[in-house]
């Protein structure tokens, strides 16, 4: 496809927004099974950052899939497109100067690698919320595991669709061993130095 597209060079740069915000932008990517704790942790981390005066935005599976990605299913191809679009949205939000928290099952290694490529290695940490599937299923926050076991949901991650475990996540959390408060501390410890203006 021929693309006659020219990127305009605007006056205000990402670096200018960082100076105004008093911190660098960033992406914290949470990956893990449904019910592992991604949204709960992302929410608590965002609250802690907000309390420190950091400008944030949280992108979450259910609300993105109700809006911009409402045309996408849970097939492997559509999950890839889901994650690609989210990475591009995150990239715009990073350009806008925000610390972005993204909470998506994102079961494929290649898709997560693509996120890192899009936003840049230096702007990204991956948090693997590694809660055993037995615990996610015991929680069954939305009743989806029950439905998947009954065969009412196709392609349910962990039951009849794959989850490719991160090989080298920046942070790995087992929510059966740590409470939310200590998980937030672990994440902030890694993050705060990275968003500091030098």
Ligand X SMILES: Nc1ncnc2c1ncn2[C@@H]1O[C@H](COP(=O)(O)OP(=O)(O)O)[C@@H](O)[C@H]1O
Ligand Y SMILES: Nc1ncnc2c1ncn2[C@@H]1O[C@H](COP(=O)(O)OS(=O)(=O)O)[C@@H](OP(=O)(O)O)[C@H]1O
Say whether residue 157 binds ligand Y (CB under 6 A): yes
Rounded to 10 deg, the angle between the 109-119 and 76-95 helix axes is 20
Q: Per the structure block, which two tokens stand in for 6?
A: 């020219």
Rounded Cα distance, 190 and 198, in Å: 16
Q: Is 197 annotated as a binding residue?
A: no
Among 142, 146, 177, 189, binds ligand Y (CB under 6 A): 142
Q: Is 13 annotated as a binding residue?
A: no
Among 153, 180, 186, 188, binds ligand Y (CB under 6 A): 153
Cβ atoms of residues 163 and 157 within 8 Å = yes
Binding-site partner at residue 40 among ligand Y, ligand X, none, CB < 5 to 8 Å by type = ligand X
Region binding ligand Y by CB under 6 A among candidate stretches 19-27, 87-95, 100-108, 164-172:
100-108
Binding-site partner at residue 106 among ligand X, ligand Y, none, CB < 5 to 8 Å by type = ligand Y
For residue 146, which of 31, 20, 32, 35 has the smallest C-alpha distance? 35
Among 79, 145, 175, 184, binds ligand Y (CB under 6 A): 79
Rounded Cα distance, 70 and 111, in Å: 19
Q: Which helix (H) or strand (E) holds 28?
A: strand 26-31
Q: Which helix (H) or strand (E) holds 27?
A: strand 26-31
Say whether residue 37 binds ligand X (CB under 6 A): yes
Site of interaction with ligand X (CB under 6 A): 32, 34-41, 103, 139, 141, 175, 178-180, 183
């Amino acid at each position: 496809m021929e693309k006659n597209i020219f990127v305009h060079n605007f006056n205000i740069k990402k670096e200018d927004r960082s100076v105004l915000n008093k911190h660098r932008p960033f992406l914290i990517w949470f990956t893990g099974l449904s019910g592992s704790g991604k949204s709960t942790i992302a929410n608590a981390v965002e609250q802690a950052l907000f309390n420190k005066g950091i400008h944030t935005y949280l992108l979450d599976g259910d609300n993105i899939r109700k809006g911009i990605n409402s045309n996408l299913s849970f097939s492997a191809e559509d999950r890839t497109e889901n994650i690609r679009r989210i990475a591009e949205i995150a990239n715009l939000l990073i350009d806008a100067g925000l610390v972005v928290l993204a909470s998506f099952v994102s079961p494929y290694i290649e898709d997560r690698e693509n996120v890192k490529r899009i936003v840049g290695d230096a702007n990204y940490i991956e948090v693997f919320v590694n809660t055993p599937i037995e615990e996610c299923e015991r929680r069954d926050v939305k009743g989806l595991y029950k439905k998947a076991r009954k065969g009412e949901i196709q392609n349910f991650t962990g039951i009849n669709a794959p989850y490719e475990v991160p090989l080298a996540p920046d942070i790995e959390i087992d929510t059966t061993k740590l409470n939310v408060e200590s998980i937030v501390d672990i994440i902030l410890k890694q993050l705060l130095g990275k968003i500091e203006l030098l």
